Structure 1
Amino acid sequence: MTGDARLLPWTGSEGKPCYLVGDGTGHVSRVADTIESVQLGMADDLLAHVADMLADHRATSAQLRFLLARMSEALTDVLRIAESRGARLPVPACEESDDNDGLTVPHQAQL
């Protein structure tokens, strides 16, 4: 993939990843941004539901399995979004250092 390829928040046939090559300003990029936003919102809502279910000691194993399946789907979506966004971050320039690895993170990014 080139540096301009974006991992999209959906998969193609047989669950294979889909990529978009472009400058990030077109219609498909805007659709992908919207879908990512929806997916992140759904994951956030699901987390609130998880807290409620875990506090309810009357929750059945079938309910918990259903919840776990939805959590697995949401985590898959969130990981794909993180991978896509991480791949689009600029690569910081490394500086020489006296450390064993010979590299450091640029000063402004150090914690």
Structure 2
Amino acid sequence: MGPDGKPCYLSTDDQGGCVSRLADHIEAFQLGTASRLLEHARRILDNNTKDLKGLHLLAAQLTSALRDVLRAAKSRGGRPAAPGHP
């Protein structure tokens, strides 16, 4: 999001450009974070934890990761997936 709260989109025909590569790296990092959080959530839920503070923190982190992944998916539109991610 930009400073005014509106979405920011990368518009370029140069797939190998510096800004495109940076955007792809950030997106790959966000997807990796979401994947690790999902695995962490599976472990916590499989253990039937009673730690409400831990569950609240996990829910906040998962919400943030989901927001990032959805923002990337929406902004990607018709662009091909980031290298290494289908």
TM-score (norm 2): 0.79
* Structure 1 residue 27 corresponds to structure 2 residue 15: no
Which of 74, 85, 88 is matched with 2:65 structurally? 74
Aligned partner of 1:55: which letter? D
* Structure 1 residue 37 corresponds to structure 2 residue 28: yes
Larger of the two Rg values belongs to structure: 1
Which of 39, 50, 54 is matched with 2:45 structurally? 54
Structure with the higher fraction of residues in strand conformation: 1
**What's 1:12 paired with?**
2
What RMSD over aligned residues (CA atoms) do the two structures have, in Å?
A: 1.7
In the TM superposition, residue 88 of structure 1 has moved relative to its aligned partner by 3.0
In the TM superposition, residue 71 of structure 1 has moved relative to its aligned partner by 0.5
Maintained 8 Å contact 1:39/1:74: yes
TM-score (norm 1): 0.63
**What's 1:92 paired with?**
none
Identity of aligned residues (%): 48
Maintained 8 Å contact 1:53/1:59: no
Unaligned runs of 5+ in 1: 1-10, 90-111
In the TM superposition, residue 76 of structure 1 has moved relative to its aligned partner by 0.6
Unaligned runs of 5+ in 2: 81-86
